[in-house]
């Protein structure tokens, strides 16, 4: 572990413990959850403005978000984190992008073991308050108005981050999607890994408990009856042009989503 923490970390697998949900959490899950999220973000932003928001603080914020979503009755299952934590080098994590939640949760999983950062849209470093947190995390920022420039930015800045020891998390879809579309899943993550000479780790995730809002896309309704699932895949070295690895990443995501959507049972404690 990279630093000492006062709360448990995940090494391999995780399932939410069974816990009672308050009447308020059951009746108004969105209100209860967002109230806690705002508290976490305000505290983190205050620290970031003073230059005191480091990996340890980011990890704590992420853990608090997990506890907040579980407090309104949502169950979480995480599988095969050891595929990432057992690597002795940085990597590129390539996952589907379903909601805002994965950006909040992944630091808790990865930060105790590896330095990390995200490829993020420019809007996240423009949001009031939240921008202080994101800027402090040394992200790779893309504008999404010029795909060619975004591609070059991810490759150039991504290689720099990886050489500095960062694991880079990439969501190759152009936007968040509740339904996975392989045609919208580009190969930028594989190309970054190939250029940097590091492995890729596939990540399938189902985070539709955090809905996509109609007015503010990042603040949709919370659906506690929809379990959270994350499953890491076997690390892969990029060979040739990386087409085979790209297909394996896509197949990992598709297979996991198919299984999760066919399993309506709640995870065991």
Q: In angstroms, rounded to a whole number, what is the distance separating the alpha carbons of residues 158 and 23?
A: 45
- pLDDT recorded at residue 128: 85
- pLDDT recorded at residue 269: 29
Percent of the chain with pLDDT over 70: 97
How far CA 248 is from CA of 9, 103, 181, 251, in Å, comes to 28, 23, 15, 5
Query: Any idea what DSSP says for residue 123?
Result: G
In this structure, are residues 209 and 105 in contact, taking their beta carbons and an 8 Å threshold? no
Half-sphere exposure of residue 56: CA atoms within 13 angstroms, side-chain side = 9
Residue 218 pLDDT class (50, 70, 90 cuts): confident
Q: In terms of pTM, does the model score above 0.85?
A: yes
Query: Any idea what DSSP says for residue 173?
Result: B
Q: In angstroms, rounded to a whole number, what is the distance separating the alpha carbons of residues 136 and 132?
A: 6
Q: In angstroms, rounded to a whole number, what is the distance separating the alpha carbons of residues 2 and 55?
A: 9
User: In this predicted model, what pLDDT tens digit does every residue of 136-163 receive, in sequence order?
Assistant: 999 999 987 788 999 999 999 999 999 9
Q: Tell me what the pLDDT averaged over the chain comes to.
A: 93
Maximum Cα interatomic distance, the chain, rounded to a whole number of Å: 56
- pLDDT recorded at residue 180: 93
Mean per-residue pLDDT for 220-231?
96
Angle 85-165-186 from CA coordinates, rounded to 5°: 80
- What one-character-per-residue DSSP string does 35-97 give? HHHHHHHHHHHHHHHTT---HHHHHHHHHHHHHHHHHTT--EEEE-THHHHT-SS--EEEE--
Q: Which domains does the chain have, with CATH numbers?
A: 15-261 (3.40.1130.10)
Which of 53-57, 68-72, 218-222, 236-240 shows the lowest per-residue confidence on average (mean pLDDT)?
218-222
Mean per-residue pLDDT for 207-219?
83
Higher pLDDT pick, 178 / 91: 91
Mean per-residue pLDDT for 99-115?
96
Return the top range by mean pLDDT from 6-20, 115-129, 142-156, 246-260. 246-260
| Beta-bridge partner residues of 229 | 77, 206
> For the purposes of burial, counting CB atoms within 10 Å of the CB of 195, is it exposed (0-12), middle (13-18) or buried (19 or more)?
middle
Mean per-residue pLDDT for 200-207?
98
- pLDDT recorded at residue 267: 40
């Amino acid at each position: 572990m990279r630093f000492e923490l006062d709360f448990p970390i995940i090494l391999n697998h995780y399932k939410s413990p069974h816990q009672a949900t308050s009447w308020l959490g059951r009746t108004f899950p969105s209100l209860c959850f967002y109230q806690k999220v705002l508290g976490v973000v305000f505290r983190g932003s205050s620290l970031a403005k003073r230059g005191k928001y480091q990996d340890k603080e980011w990890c704590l914020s992420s853990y608090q978000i997990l506890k907040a979503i579980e407090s309104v009755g949502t169950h979480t299952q995480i599988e095969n984190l050891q595929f990432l934590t057992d690597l002795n080098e940085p990597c590129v994590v390539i996952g589907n992008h379903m909601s805002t939640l994965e950006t909040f949760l992944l630091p808790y999983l990865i930060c105790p073991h590896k330095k990390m950062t995200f490829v993020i849209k420019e809007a996240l470093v423009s949001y009031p308050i939240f921008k202080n947190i994101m800027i402090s995390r040394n992200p790779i920022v893309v504008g999404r108005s010029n795909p060619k420039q975004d591609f070059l930015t991810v490759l150039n800045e991504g290689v720099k981050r990886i050489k500095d020891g960062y694991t880079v998390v990439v969501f190759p879809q152009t936007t968040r999607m509740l339904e996975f579309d392989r045609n919208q899943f580009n190969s930028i993550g594989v190309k970054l890994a190939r250029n940097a000479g590091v492995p890729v780790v596939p990540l399938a995730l189902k985070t539709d408990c955090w809905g996509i809002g109609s007015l503010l896309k990042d603040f949709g309704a919370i659906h506690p009856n929809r379990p959270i699932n994350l499953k890491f895949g076997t690390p892969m070295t990029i060979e040739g042009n990386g087409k085979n690895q790209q297909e394996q990443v896509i197949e990992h995501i598709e297979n996991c989503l198919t299984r999760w959507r066919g399993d309506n049972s709640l995870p065991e404690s």
